[in-house]
Amino acid sequence: MAEKVYQPGEHYEYPLIIKKLLNTPLVYSPDQEIVYRDQSRYTYRDLNERIGRLASGLAEMGIGAGDTVAVFDYDSNRFLEAFFAIPMMGAVLQMVNWRLSAEQIAYTLNHAEAKLIIINSDFLPILEGLEDKLEKVRAVVVIPETGEMPETGVKFDRVYDELLATSEPGYDFPDMDENTKATTFYTTGTTGDPKGVHFTHRQLVLHTLSTAIAVGSYDTIGRCRAEDVYMPITPMFHVHAWGFPYIATMLGMKQVYPGKYEPEMLVKLVVTEKVTVSHCVPTILQMITGSPVVKQFDLSSWKVIIGGAKLSKGLAKAAMEMGITVYTGYGMSETCPIISLATPKKHMMAWEEDRLLDVVIKTGLPIPLVEFEIVDPDDRPMPHDGMSTGEVVFRAPWLTRSYFKAPDKSAELWQNGWLHSGDVGHIDAEGYLQITDRIKDVIKSGGEWVSSLDLENLMSQHEAILESAAIGVPDEKWGERPMMIVMIRPEYQGKVSADDLKAYMKAAAAEGKLPKYGVPDRYEFVDEIAKTSVGKLDKKVMRNMYH
Amino acid sequence: MAEKVYQPGEHYEYPLIIKKLLNTPLVYSPDQEIVYRDQSRYTYRDLNERIGRLASGLAEMGIGAGDTVAVFDYDSNRFLEAFFAIPMMGAVLQMVNWRLSAEQIAYTLNHAEAKLIIINSDFLPILEGLEDKLEKVRAVVVIPETGEMPETGVKFDRVYDELLATSEPGYDFPDMDENTKATTFYTTGTTGDPKGVHFTHRQLVLHTLSTAIAVGSYDTIGRCRAEDVYMPITPMFHVHAWGFPYIATMLGMKQVYPGKYEPEMLVKLVVTEKVTVSHCVPTILQMITGSPVVKQFDLSSWKVIIGGAKLSKGLAKAAMEMGITVYTGYGMSETCPIISLATPKKHMMAWEEDRLLDVVIKTGLPIPLVEFEIVDPDDRPMPHDGMSTGEVVFRAPWLTRSYFKAPDKSAELWQNGWLHSGDVGHIDAEGYLQITDRIKDVIKSGGEWVSSLDLENLMSQHEAILESAAIGVPDEKWGERPMMIVMIRPEYQGKVSADDLKAYMKAAAAEGKLPKYGVPDRYEFVDEIAKTSVGKLDKKVMRNMYH
């Protein structure tokens, strides 16, 4: 029973390690289901056995404590197995953003010193041609997406399900120091090499506990509890799919993994598997609310937490009208990721819908244990008046301690004992944070700051606008001036002009929704707005295009 | 902003300390109320200020890090203030069980090295005559229960509210090592001196997080969430009132403190303050369900977690019939205290009431992070078949590390890396633990074990029985034989005989509810059943009486 020899009276020093999250679900919900598309379905009992088998298989292949295992996969039960098995062995799970360029991926694998790769066969083309560039990778395990191995030039060692089938179900997962590194992920700024954030067992356990409380006990709309059915629509590679697979597992929730994001499959799974809680970026929600197919279904028990970019009021309203409960979640790759949720307070629940919408699109209130502040350039806290704008800084038990092997970048991240987010925002008297911009995206016009997010939010409420981006373009007189880049809805093509949009923004300024100097001069109509690999507006690209 | 000077890139090492639990409620619910009887009512903002004032006042009186402050009080806002202020200073809060004898109290104060006492004026008579015996106590602060100071022979230094009124509201609570001792409590066995359990900041924070999840997200009946209204009916001195004041505060719940337990006041507060969640021992629930006054009120939104002694099916049924949601919570002074809750699983919610009652009266399922097992005398785990009985052992992040300054007793508590509870029980295939007895109370008849709790539970279902206790009495042939001590309901006085009760138990044995050798031979009718200071059956006293 005991892993070590204890003296009488010697207490057990309980470490906050990931294996402990499995304690309760295996008692509460051993028969609960974990579903992968329409392809597989098994129980928590099976999950536990497969976690053991994966660890045994990896150990046979030479993986031990401290080694990094990189996973390339869609949102799947395999990724969930990796979320547990790899850290529970004492190894490090690298979540690979397969949307990066092949060169960037090679950089991250080398930088993280990945020793083994588990890869969905759909991503093998990325590996082809990279093999010579990978410095530490010794073995490759392939997950054939269709069940059959495709032709590939990649030399691989094992097939995932065969590895599990032939390895031992029992693996004696050791206790370890709770500060052992468990996961890593590379975040891409708009300049320079990807930066590696990393999280320990302790950090992940605490993030799981606090987020579970925030979504289960604080939230007065859209609570997530043991009887909910979870499906991510934010990639699992993206900082642990916001930590929800850990929460869902700890609570013994039914889990549904959609694989590759295909609109029809997503909707089908929501309806047939009775999914009640998801998270996604605004673009995906937009796709859902805009689909005529989706409108046929009853989605009134679906709660969707929106993050990654600003949830516009227009989009929130469209979702609410379809019966979907939406609110904002906020965090960064550096923050594990959750920092805040835009849950209404008890007294706000009586508010009319329009006023409540203004709450749920905010950046939100801190989840338990989190502290945030807004500070001036000298790191002095600024008033919580909903007006004063400063850089957002954090403290929480789950913030990355540094960028891996990048002390210069870490020195910008951590200053005066607070993690500096690079976001600017304000905090209102109720304590709600509102991010108004990235520091580098703020438009500086004649000594005043104009929030590009405010401009985009206003623009999104115009009936003709599908999506928009605001950037600062150089101006001789003012230093910078705001400019809008807009996508028009198909039915409004040719029916709205730049002058119409400018008049709309001027009217908004006249109503006090925007300072007068904030009204953009220029409106560029485009068919597609530049995005980064994780779906965020790529303003660096836009600024280069329109400087 | 920063307490220390940080180098660029140096991360903030976030400690799990009690002051961090206040972060979210002060943002979410600054105007939420904390009520003391019909005497006072203030907000979380006020609570925060009073915590600062209490710390400043205690610091002026010479209290610093590592000092012990002993509190004697009813359940009150003052005790809540002490729950936070004292540990947040780095001092240790000693929760004093004022039901112990004066000698025992003196022993615990000396053993804990208490330096300052905060005492409700109602308990001053305990201190009178003890003053010479207290070795380390340097100062006394009195809380006049009625607002006016009673005549007392106790030399006291300050009056609580005056101390707060004259001290600074701001206190710069330091960060500290999360393993700093925060609280201590003395538990009384049936033999020997009281034993001091103690808990660190880390332990209390983790207990709060896990219990909040267990009551908020797992429970399919009687969930406790931010909008609930909390009132303890288990003394706050008794291991932090099961940790609920910390949970209620973290969630920003309205809190109601009833002071001295007076049935009328309790019911009045439940009704007028709209209390929705409480915890108490079966005796209190019995008093409530048995009161004709209570029956006039609608208590259908009241959830009551029952602990401290076995919740009998008869009592659970009576409560449920009044609309009160009840289920068992289990733990010990040594375990901070919560280990398990008897929450039904999702699939059980469809069961008929009688079957569901059998679930909620069990000892329960482990809350997140908790591990429990039943073991044989060689500490080997026993099967989870609902039949095999062994000693219950625990692992959790919040178990006392030792009995303070009592290595010999600690050596019994911690063996082979598991905390040994001294309780015996079984675990069924669904994972529910059922305590069947204390090891020392098990009745050993002819080599077989008879559970005294099973006998009491069966007896409680007899219509004439108000309360009962089963003990083993020496027997020449069998070693021990079970004996029942019973209290008859007033309306059945003189209408039921020992033979009737024996016939009832024999019938139960014939139905397989009890082994035949378990039917007690002797039935003793009493007016009162011996209890310990915390309301548990005092079997040591009974065994001495009937040996």
Are the C-beta atoms of A14 and B396 separated by less than 8 Å? yes
CATH of the domain at A476: 3.30.300.30
Interface ipTM > 0.85: yes
The CATH number that applies at residue B159 is 3.40.50.12780
Domain that holds residue A510: 443-546
Q: Measured on CA atoms in the order A9, A10, A14, A20, is the torsion positive or negative?
A: negative
pLDDT in tens, B102-154: 999 999 999 999 999 999 999 999 999 898 899 999 999 999 998 888 889 99
Q: Lowest mean pLDDT of A292-306, B227-241, B326-340, name the range.
A: A292-306
Across chain B, mean pLDDT equals: 93
| pLDDT of amino acid B454 | 85
Q: Is residue B309 part of a domain?
A: no
Task: Decide: A88 and A61 in contact? Cβ < 8 Å.
Answer: no
The angle subtended at Cα B311 by Cα B307 and Cα B314, nearest 5°, is 155
Quick one: CA dihedral A406, A412, A418, A421, positive or negative? negative
Return the DSSP state at A420: E
Which chain A residue has the Cα nearest residue B412? A9
Looking at residue B1, its pLDDT comes to: 41
* Minimal CA separation from A21 to chain B, in Å: 6
Closest CA to A306 of A324, A279, A338: A279
Q: What is the pLDDT of residues A210-235, one digit of tens each?
A: 999 999 998 778 899 999 999 999 99
Query: How are strands ordered across the β-sheet holding B277-280?
Result: B40-43, B33-36, B254-257, B229-230, B277-280, B303-306, B325-331, B338-341, B365-366
CB distance B342 to B361 below 8 Å: yes
3 state SS of A334: helix
With both helix axes pointing from N to C terminus, report the angle between A353-360 and A313-321 in degrees, rounded to the nearest 10. 120
Asked whether residue A2 carries a pLDDT value surpassing 60, the answer given is: no
pLDDT higher than threshold 50 for residue B2: no
Residue A3 confidence (pLDDT) above 50: yes
- Note whether A8 contacts B431, CB cutoff 8 Å: no
Structural domain ending residue among the three candidates A153, A168, A193:
A193
**How many domains, in total, are found in chain B?**
2
Length of chain A as a residue count: 547
Could you tell me the sign of the dihedral formed by the alpha carbons of A235, A240, A241, A245, in that order? positive
- Mean pLDDT for B256-269 is 92
**Which residue among A9, A220, A373 places its CB closest to the CB of B411?**
A9
Question: What is the three-state SS of A36-102?
Answer: ECCCEEEEHHHHHHHHHHHHHHHHHCCCCCCCEEEEECCECHHHHHHHHHHHHCCCEEEECCCCCCH
Window from A39-43, A110-114, B190-194, B270-274 with minimum mean pLDDT: B190-194
- Chain B contact for A2, CB < 8 A? yes
Helix, strand, coil shares of chain B, percent, nearest 5, are: 35, 25, 40
pLDDT at residue number A191? 65
Res. A416: pLDDT tops 80? yes
* B305, part of any domain: no
Instruction: Say yes or no for a CB contact (<8 Å) between A416 and B365.
Output: no
Please check whether residue B541 lies inside any domain of the structure.
Answer: yes
In the predicted model, is pLDDT for residue A189 greater than 80? no
**Average pLDDT estimate for B256-274:** 93
Q: Could you give the CA distance from residue A176 to residue B84 in angstroms, rounded to a whole number? A: 32
**Cis peptide preceding B337, ω within 30 of 0:** yes
In the predicted model, is pLDDT for residue A504 greater than 70?
yes
Q: Does B493 touch chain A (CB under 8 A)?
A: no
Looking at the domain assignment, is residue A538 inside a domain? yes
Model confidence at A525, pLDDT cuts 50, 70, 90, reads very high
Kindly report the backbone phi and psi dihedral angles of residue A213, in degrees, each rounded to the nearest multiple of 5, phi listed first.
-65, -45
Which B residues 359-378 touch A at CB under 8 Å?
A: 365-371, 373, 375
Rounded to a whole number, what is the largest CA-CA distance in chain A?
82
Please report, rounded to a whole number, the percentage of residues in chain A having pLDDT higher than 70.
99
B40-80 pLDDT per residue, tens:
999 999 999 999 999 999 999 999 999 999 999 999 999 99
Number of C-beta neighbours around residue A258 at 10 A: 23
Please give the pLDDT value at position A190. Answer: 60
Mean pLDDT for the stretch of residues A506-518? 89
- Please identify, among B176, B193, B210, the residue that sits at the C-terminal boundary of a domain: B193
Residue with tokens 């660029």: B8
| Domain-ending residue, one of A176, A193, A210 | A193
Candidates A3, A5, A14: best to mutate against B (most CBs of B within 10 A) is: A14
pLDDT, tens digit (0-9, with 9 covering 90-100), for B311-321: 999 999 999 99
pLDDT for A295 equals 83
Using CB atoms, which residue from A206, A368, A410 is nearest to B9? Answer: A410
Residue type, A288: I
Give the separation between CA A110 and CA A104, rounded to whole angstroms: 10
* Chain A residues within an 8 Å CB radius of B21: 368-369
Residue A123: inside a domain: yes
Across the range B3-21, mean pLDDT stands at 94
Please state the rounded mean pLDDT for residues B234-240.
95
pLDDT at B334 over 60: yes
> Buried (b) or exposed (e) across B489-527, using 16+ Cβ within 10 A?
eeeeeeebeeeebbebbeebbeeeebeeebbbeebbeee
In a domain, B408, yes or no: no
Alpha-carbon span A69 to B89, nearest angstrom: 44
pLDDT band at A188 (very low <50, low <70, confident <90, very high): confident
Separation of alpha carbons A91 and B268, rounded Å: 57
Res A93: pLDDT: 98
Active site residue B449: yes
CA distance B264 to B67: 39
Determine, yes or no, domain membership for A400. Answer: no
Residues B445-466: what's their mean pLDDT? 87
Band of pLDDT at residue A1, cut at 50, 70 and 90: very low
**Residue B402 domain flag:** no
Which residue's structure tokens are 């338990």? Answer: A368
